[in-house]
Structure 1
Amino acid sequence: MKLIQRIGYYLGGFSLGLIILAFFLNGKKTSCSYGPDARVLKNIRLKKIEYLDNTQSQLHNNNLDSVAVNYVLRKGNINFSESNARQEPCGVYTVEGDYNEKELILTVENCDSIATITNLRIAN
């Protein structure tokens, strides 16, 4: 069998496999959170999110709401150099993200069943 035929069979089987995967995974709530950022953000999003009083007042003063926080927790990045993931009993993470042309920096205390937004900053 010539090389071009082998490549043709390989590409044919590969494309058939992709079509079958797309058919079976269509509409499923599958996610591929393999990176450290994605795993921690997903872990935070799955928990009940609470806000400290000063955080709620900062949100209100800057005309923001929980939608902005949820957006940053979905699309943001974790700054591990400013985070303290090994702190007992709850790890503290710094999450940075853009929302409506504002850069929001959240400090999240990630406990076993609750994630608490302890601080909110808006960087210029």
Structure 2
Amino acid sequence: MLKKLKFYFIGLVPGLLIVFFILNQKGTSCSYFPNDRVIAETLTKDFTYTDSFKKEMELNKISEQFLKDSIIAKGEIDFDRSKPQNEPCPEYLLLYPKNNPRIEVNYSKCKETAEFTSLKKLK
């Protein structure tokens, strides 16, 4: 039995290392959690903004790049206050940062676009 386990691990460890390095080079990521999947899908969409959202971005000095790279990419979806079952466009509430949120973003994620409707700075 010990001999079988030894052979098993001799094959398993190098195999895991090979798979890890191949996937790491391709830039793939495993996002199985609902929060990660919604955020990954959102980042692939074309972004549209309502006028009120644009004004709030200007008032809070938030650039589109910062919105994509930090707020959305590192945010947390509040599924209790979101409406992911809405048809045709689910609505989500995103909080940034994950711990001690200071920014709240409402948006709807359609097939082709993500429409950002409100941005609120929390105290």
One-letter amino acid of the structure 2 residue matched with residue 47 of structure 1: K
Three-state SS of the structure 2 residue aligned to 1:89 is coil
The equivalent of 2:73 in structure 1 is 74
Q: Which has the higher strand share?
A: 1
Return the alpha-carbon distance in structure 2 between the equivalents of residues 44 and 19 of structure 1.
31
The equivalent of 1:107 in structure 2 is 106
**Correspondence for 2:54 among 38, 53, 56:** 56
The equivalent of 1:123 in structure 2 is 122
Assess if the C-alpha contact under 8 Å between 2:42 and 2:109 holds in 1: yes
The equivalent of 2:93 in structure 1 is 94
The equivalent of 1:46 in structure 2 is 44
Return the alpha-carbon distance in structure 1 between the equivalents of residues 84 and 101 of structure 2.
26
Shift of the alpha carbon at 1:93? 0.3
Shift of the alpha carbon at 1:9? 3.1
Return the alpha-carbon distance in structure 2 between the equivalents of residues 109 and 33 of structure 1.
20
Give the 3 Å change call, closer, same or farther, for CA 64–83 of structure 1 in structure 2: same
Counting aligned pairs with the same residue, the percent is 30
Shift of the alpha carbon at 1:6? 4.4
One-letter amino acid of the structure 2 residue matched with residue 105 of structure 1: E
Residue segments in structure 1 that go unaligned for 5+ positions in a row: none
Larger radius of gyration: 1
How far does the alpha carbon of each residue in 1:52-81 deviate from its partner, in whole angstroms, 9 at most, with x for none? 111111111111111232122111111011
Answer with 16-25 or 103-112: which moved more. Answer: 16-25
Residue segments in structure 2 that go unaligned for 5+ positions in a row: none
TM-score (norm 1): 0.85
Three-state SS of the structure 2 residue aligned to 1:96 is strand
